[in-house]
DNA sequence: AATAGAGGCAACCGCGGACAG
DNA sequence: ACTGTCCGCGGTTGCCTCTAT
């Protein structure tokens, strides 16, 4: 219905962010916090759309981000959560502190998917590949039926399957029936019930950071290094490059309070 | 050393939900 | 109840790097 673009397309820059743009964005958010992304580019002096700023911040500039590949425990958790939730990357990411949905999605598509296939597990259904051929046939026939009968679209194709809440095909279900079904499942499954609370999983393994010079560095998931020293190691630029010595004592605390 | 192809990842696009007026 | 706006999410794209030839 003629929705306005999120930003003025004219004069809006696209593509990779420069260090100068990053600097402006970090400076603005550390000073003003996260609010009204639409206004951020103007106020921060950036020729970007608000969406782009939000994405850059959440996926790359946020000081609480971990860098580097997912470790084995994280990977296992992602697989486990994906089996239950499907492609709800943001939900999955919310249980992995310091990881973004984009990062997990990319890691899934480039690494985990292949691993599972190699292991003979279908990455979509999480069932052995032999069974998958059959279930895919069933799925396709259900899909065909659905096309013929749009009015029945509210009923998820996997409604009768034990994979009910696990199937990605079910992820967009918004019917009351579906939510009731979900609630039931969440109550029974501690992991899933945890997903629908706000608190992140308290993982009992240390976070491991690839450090540019000294290999892996351990980092407690629940703790927040106020010095943000890791940022200097893990970002492809340094805070000092931006002249953000203030980052150490101000930025992170301010952001946490807002969250 | 040069080049083509594959892989990985950052960023963009479009849709839908939430919410305010 | 309706409309417009904003934000967040998931899918996709395109560029850069790595690897094989």
Render each residue's pLDDT in chain A as its tens digit; 259 residues: 333 444 545 567 888 888 888 888 888 888 887 778 888 888 888 888 888 888 888 888 888 787 777 888 888 888 888 888 888 888 888 888 888 888 888 888 888 888 888 788 888 788 777 665 555 555 444 444 434 433 333 333 333 333 333 343 333 333 333 444 444 444 555 555 555 454 555 444 443 433 333 333 333 333 334 334 444 343 444 444 444 444 443 333 333 333 3
Q: Are residues A55 and A79 in the same domain?
A: no
**Closest protein CA to C1' of nucleotide C12, residue:** A106
Which residues in 68-87 of chain A line strand C, with CB less than 7 A from it? Answer: 87
A224 touches strand B (CB under 7 A): no
Whether A182 maps to a domain, the answer reads yes
Strand B positions closer than 7 A to protein CB: 7-14, 17
Whether A121 maps to a domain, the answer reads yes
Give pLDDT, residue A197: 53
Q: Are residues A156 and A253 in the same domain?
A: no
Whether A220 maps to a domain, the answer reads no
Q: Are residues A88 and A190 in the same domain?
A: yes
How far apart CA A44 and CA A55 sit, in angstroms, is 15
Which residues in 194-223 of chain A line strand B, with CB less than 7 A from it? Answer: none
Give pLDDT, residue A98: 83
Q: Are residues A191 and A76 in the same domain?
A: yes
Range of the domain at A170: 72-195
Strands A215-219 and A207-211: antiparallel
Q: Are residues A143 and A37 in the same domain?
A: no
Give pLDDT, residue A75: 86
A10 touches strand C (CB under 7 A): no
Whether A30 maps to a domain, the answer reads yes
How many Å is the Cα radius of gyration of chain A?
A: 21
| Token pair of A157 as six digits | 């194709």
How far apart CA A211 and CA A226 sit, in angstroms, is 18
Q: Are residues A51 and A83 in the same domain?
A: no
Q: Are residues A150 and A184 in the same domain?
A: yes
Give pLDDT, residue A132: 53
Whether A5 maps to a domain, the answer reads yes
User: Whole-number Å distance, CA A53 to C1' C13?
Assistant: 19
A36 touches strand C (CB under 7 A): yes
Whether A27 maps to a domain, the answer reads yes
Whether A102 maps to a domain, the answer reads yes
Phi/psi of residue A232, each to 5°? -65, -35
**Closest protein CA to C1' of nucleotide C3, residue:** A1
Give pLDDT, residue A190: 54
User: A227: which DSSP letter?
Assistant: T
Give pLDDT, residue A135: 53
User: A18: which DSSP letter?
Assistant: P
**Closest protein CA to C1' of nucleotide C4, residue:** A3
Describe chain A by its helix, strand, coil percentages, rounded to 5.
Answer: 55, 5, 45
Give the CA angle between residues A53, A59, A245 to the nearest 5°.
Answer: 80
A111 touches strand C (CB under 7 A): no
């Amino acid at each position: 219905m003629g929705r306005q673009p999120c930003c003025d397309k004219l004069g809006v820059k696209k593509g990779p962010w420069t260090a100068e743009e990053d600097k402006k964005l970090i400076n603005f958010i550390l000073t003003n916090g996260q609010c009204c992304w639409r206004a951020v580019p103007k106020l921060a002096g950036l020729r970007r759309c608000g969406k782009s700023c939000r994405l850059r911040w959440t996926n790359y500039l946020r000081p609480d981000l971990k860098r580097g590949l997912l470790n084995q425990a994280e990977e296992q958790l992602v697989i486990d959560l994906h089996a239950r939730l499907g492609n709800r990357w943001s939900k999955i990411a919310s249980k992995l502190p310091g990881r973004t949905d984009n990062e997990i999605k990319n890691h899934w598509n480039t690494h985990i998917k292949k691993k599972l296939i190699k292991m003979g597990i279908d990455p979509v259904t999480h069932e052995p590949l032999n069974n998958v051929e059959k279930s895919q046939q069933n799925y396709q026939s259900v899909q065909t039926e659905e096309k013929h009968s749009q009015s029945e679209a509210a009923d998820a194709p996997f409604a009768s399957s034990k994979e009910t809440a696990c199937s990605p095909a079910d992820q967009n279900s918004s019917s009351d029936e579906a939510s009731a079904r979900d609630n039931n499942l969440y109550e029974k499954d501690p992991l899933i019930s945890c997903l629908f609370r706000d608190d992140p999983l308290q993982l009992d393994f240390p976070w491991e950071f690839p450090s540019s010079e000294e290999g892996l560095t351990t980092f407690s998931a629940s703790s927040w290094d106020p010095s943000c020293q890791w940022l200097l190691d893990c970002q492809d630029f340094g805070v000092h490059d931006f002249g953000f010595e203030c980052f150490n004592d101000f930025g992170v605390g301010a952001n946490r309070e807002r969250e």
